[in-house]
A and B are shown apart, each in its own frame.
Chain A
Amino acid sequence: MEQVVENKKSGFDKYKIKKLIITLLPLLALILLFVAYIVILNINDYNVMMNLKTLLNQSLILVLVATGAIFIFTLGQFDISLGANALFSAVVGTLAYKATGSIALLFIVCIAVAVACSLLNALIASVFHLPMFVTTIAMLSVLTALATFLIQSKGSASGTSYSITLPAELVDKLAPLDTVAFKIVLLIVFMALMVFIFNFTKIGRKQKFLGGNERCAKLTGISISLFGIIAFALAGLGVGLGSSMTVVYAHTVSTTTASSIGMSVFIAIVFGGMPINGGARSRIYSALIGGFSYNIMTNILFILFQSMQGVRDGLVQVISGVFFLVIVFVASINYRSKNLPR
């Protein structure tokens, strides 16, 4: 108490400065990684613009899906079926696009299917009073099986798997959307919408409250079911956009499409400074920062260990894991503060 009074007297609020720095740490880490990446690209005489374009392509779908998913993570929930949802919605969207040639329908179907699947998660959990984690595990199996059935019955064998590939004329129609400009605009518009909902409406505030202290939030009249449904609907929007852009980028869907999304989403938002338990310290921009940080870090590691190809892939995984633990540790310093979040 004496220390606090002393700090206030000297105009030095140690807590606020510490909080500010910890809040900015993910952004600082992204900037540091980005600078290191550019330096490494230049030292190796690599094509910087091409690498940045690749980075955008690697990160866009992850950021779209993860940003939507933050609404779920804020509630302290976890959706393991995000990748399967992205796969299933991409398959249905691709079939709709193949049948009609309409780009609008590709996006509408992908988003509608993803939102519907996501809402089904919330509905099942709500009706049967099941933990959300359990529901999403079940959905993971169901959606993967449905997608596999559709791909096998409507697609063709390619390599060691089946796939549905778009014909050349439909690929050409998608070309204007597979550009850096379109992707950046899409990212900005989507992020602006999500930031607005999360930071400037009751939805975000109430979700943080629910994630921080569910019982207390309930006693103040906040509906857990309603805000759970809203969270899953917004997550579905992110998944739908992500799956649409997967089709735009890859022009084909197979049973392995979006296979790594589920785990990457979790890693990305933690890299971006999101508390693993959700609540008041949740940040909507965590996915944006974390998605890019994670991919930059992976790209750097692959460049650094390129000459050690026998062990490279394993080494990159191990180092990524250590980074992940370091970040969780640094972030947790903030959570272990004796002060309540403000």
Chain B
Amino acid sequence: MKISKFTKGVAAIALVGASIALAACGGAKQTVKVGVLVADASGEEALGFKNYLQRYVAKEYNYEFVYSPAIASAEQAKSQAETFIGQNCKAIIDMADKNRGDLAKLCNDSKVYFAIGSGMMSDGDFAASKKLDYFVGQIGPDMQTEYETGLAMGKYYKEVKNVDNIGVYGAFIPNPMHLYRMAGLLTGLDDTYKGQSGQNIVFTVFGDDAQFDAANIAGDVEIDYCAGFDGEGAIFGTVGGIIAKGPDAFLSVGMTTTFFADMLDEAHVEYSDIDSFTTQNGNHMKTGSLKYLSGKYSSSLGPIFAAIKSAIDGKAIRNNGEAFSLSQGYWTAKSSAEFEKFQSADSVNNPIFNKTLLDTLVGASFDTFKAAVELDRTPQ
């Protein structure tokens, strides 16, 4: 029997439709669903958080964490948040940082809890959102912590490593988080920016319409500076040029392990970064040239989960009736052995914020919760 191409085409479409309907069956699960907005799920830090949520917390608490595709813009973030709400997510954790004030309001209107898991809202946005009933809060290193982390890195390379000329990667300056780290780094190196040091550097840059110009850096330590990421290759050329000059070290306020680790490892140029304690970074530290890493540990996301679960269970943790904003510090490893010690102290199967600890936080008072979040948990 001869079948025409037209009939085949119609049959193909019908088959696809039927497959979709059949494949949809059996999808519903009786777990509590939480949406997670991410800008890039492939970054080291994001992967660490994802493993902790999906492979540990989800199993221990019968929760399901649904990740968004990579969010590039505010309209995508809002659309994805609406999708999560439509899929009966009880809460949304935002790690994408796209117009968070708007998302907090959207979630509040939809009676879905909203929490910030990475980075902090600006003071203005937080003040405008903290009274929203469904805004749980934010936990992350505050700007003082960011500054001190950069300061410690700068001091270490100035006083212990005695560097004279270095490459510096400014990541996404004038992103405030990266700018505070840079202010600390320059101060730690005894360099100045427009004659300023300390957190005055931040105020100076913001006073110049948030324009950071490396020509304004002065001091004994010579700096070859670059920043940003175009994704098109030019930045790799710039970093390659800095590496070719043979700097004593390449210091970074973020994202270097994601973008440039292989280049620096290959050139045997020592580098530092502020990222997280993941297997990949461990490998760079063990066999590559990564020699200094300040980072978050994967289960540091645990308290924000505890706060969300508390809210969903009807025992919301509030700071005087408002959403909380708490700071969490970094760990710093200066050797592979130290890194391994940290890593083994916080693995997917045995995280710092394990079920026993999380259970004490669910439904806790704000003071108890705050003390637990801000406690220095650096493995000794």
B-binding residues in A (CB < 8 A): 18, 21-22, 25, 28-29, 32-33, 36, 39-41, 43-47, 50-51, 53-54, 57-58, 61, 153, 156-161, 163, 165, 168, 171, 246, 249-254, 256-260, 299-300, 302-304, 306, 309, 313, 323, 326, 329-330, 333
Contact = CB atoms under 8 A, between A and B. Distances in A.
Contacts of B79: 54, 57-58
B88 interface: yes
Contact of A29 (B13, B88, B122): B13
Nearest to B210: A157
A159 B38 CA distance: 12
Given A47-B86, A50-B82, A251-B102, A157 B209 contact: no
A249 B27 contact: no
A330 B9 contact: yes
A329 B9 contact: yes
Given A159-B175, A171-B102, A54 B83 contact: yes
Interface residues of B, number: 52
B9 to A, nearest CB: 4
Interface in B208-227: 209-210
B66 A36 contact: no
B21 A39 contact: yes
Contacts of B66: 306, 309
Given A157-B175, A257-B73, A46 B102 contact: no
B143 to A, nearest CB: 13
B9 A333 contact: yes
10 contacts: A25-B13, A33-B20, A50-B86, A54-B79, A54-B86, A158-B98, A158-B122, A159-B172, A253-B74, A313-B69
B175 A39 contact: no
Interface of B: 5-6, 9-10, 12-14, 16-17, 20-21, 23-25, 27-28, 39, 54, 66-67, 69-70, 72-75, 78-79, 82-83, 85-88, 96-99, 101-102, 110, 119, 122, 128, 172-176, 209-210, 229
Contacts of B16: 323, 326
A54 B101 CA distance: 19
A153 B209 CA distance: 8
B113 to A, nearest CB: 16
A246 B75 CA distance: 7
A250 B20 CA distance: 32
A252 B102 contact: yes
B69 A40 contact: no
A258 B76 CA distance: 9
A40 B67 contact: no
B70 A159 contact: no
Given A306-B66, A323-B16, A163 B6 contact: no
A51 B24 contact: no
A210 B144 CA distance: 65
B27, B88, B110, B172 interface centre (most CB from chain A within 10 Å): B27
Nearest to A334: B6
Given A157-B174, A256-B72, A33 B17 contact: yes
B99 A251 contact: yes
Given A160-B39, A250-B73, A303 B21 contact: no
A159 B98 contact: yes
Given A54-B79, A153-B209, 15 more contacts: A41-B86, A47-B88, A50-B110, A157-B172, A159-B96, A165-B101, A254-B73, A257-B73, A257-B75, A258-B75, A302-B69, A323-B16, A329-B9, A330-B13, A333-B5
